Amino acid sequence: MLDRKFILENIEAVRENCVHRCVQVDVDRFVALENERKTLQQESETINRQANEVSKSIGKAATPEEREARKEEGKALREKGVQIAEKLSEIQAELDDIHRQIPNMTHPDAPIGVDDKDNLELMRGKTPIPEFDFEPKDHVELGQALDLIDFEAGARVAGAGFYFLKNEAVLLDMALQMFAMQTLLKEGFVPMVTPDLARNEILQGTGFNPRGNETQIYSVENTDLSLIATAEIPLGGYFSGKMIDAELLPMKFCGVSHCFRTEAGAAGRASRGLYRVHQFSKVEMFAFTLPEQSEEMLFHLRQMEMNIFDALKIPYRVVDTSTGDLGGPAYRKFDLEAWMPGRGGFGEVTSTSNCTDYQARRLNCRYRNKGEKGSHFLHTLNGTAIAISRGLLAIMENYQQKDGSILIPDVLRPYVGVERIQRD
């Protein structure tokens, strides 16, 4: 979340930022409540001081009547103090609710827009869009023909949006994970396998809403746990409540996890098959940095994503995400959109975000400089190395052949063990 003092000192900028990000938050109400809170807090401190003074004076009363009068005065002060405390509690709850809704500030270079249609294309990858001398199929058709994906069985077992991977698709899944991990290990990322569940306070700290009509999260009934939507959640919570020495920063992690999302409302041809599913595997990058390191780290994470898709020889473009398409914690976000012949257009396969101190402030992740008093909030960044389901989709559609087979990208062949997926 944003620093409360920053909000009060930059009301107009915060209000304008909410408009640009298409977020309806009553910033003026926040300011009014904060002013009321300060007034009541001062009044509470005054009453508590007066009550203490009266309490000390009871034993010094000259007469029983004076003693009783002071007792009554103390009682009245305490009752008033309780009333103010209750009011303060109500105000603080509403303040916290509004505070959580206020998004991060936005990088001045991010394009202003309403949704992903306003994202700004920055560059293309090294691999050109393929030109087929036949009508290309989408991955659903290819998966059925080559016995790689069973959506029908997945729906019988777990409902729509779930699936079974079969045969070489399983090997491709594992190959993508290993290739991404090996690529990141060479760049100093620490490998981790994360829990698939997290406490709701960790979800909220990283900017995910585990409850409510708009949630994309699967919650576990009668617990404070939810299934994670991305390894960003447990990795972000890794240093929750911790203090890090500045000389250890930056720290880079790559986490392997299953991801679970309700994907409520998603429909249409562009979302069919593996593009929007309720469960998938992912390799996620996450970094903790000093404030002055985070912008450079954002471009480093973006470059890692580009390196992976260039090595896979998948055509893609990089877009600078518009203000209306940014998630609440993101200060700036870049997406990689792979070419998907089945839809005849680009589709998002990775994203990387600089969340500055927005998540760290919620999670209380701090650092301290050697020899200095006090501490500061870390900056956090995340980036998708590979979301397996969409990576599979992109490979199947871009590497399909006229005879119905699918070539395996060169860099994945050592893991898969074959050069081509085909059926007799």
Active site residues: 261, 276, 348, 351, 390
Classified as helix, coil or strand, 264 is coil
| Beta strand segments in 77-230, E | 120-124, 149-150, 164-165, 190-193, 197-199, 225-227
Q: Which two tokens stand for residue 91?
A: 């105000």
In 3D, which of 162, 131, 388 has the Cα closest to residue 263? 162
- Residue 373: CB partners within 8 Å, gap ≥ 6? none
Residue pair 327/351 in contact by the 8 Å Cβ criterion: no
Q: From CA 317, how far away is CA 67, in angstroms rounded? A: 81
Q: Which two tokens stand for residue 107?
A: 């990088």
Q: Counting every residue, how long is the chain?
A: 424
Q: From CA 328, how far away is CA 105, in angstroms rounded? A: 9
Q: From CA 375, how far away is CA 385, in angstroms rounded? A: 31
Q: How far is CA 185 from CA 59, 158, 280, 297, 313, in A?
A: 72, 35, 22, 16, 20
Classified as helix, coil or strand, 199 is strand
CA 311 to chain centre: 26
Which residues lie across from 421 on neighbouring strands? Answer: 406
**DSSP 8-state code for residue 147:** T
Cis ω for the linkage preceding 250 (within 30 of 0): yes
The kind and range of the H/E element at 64 are helix 64-101
Within 10 angstroms of residue 18's Cβ, the number of other Cβ atoms is: 18
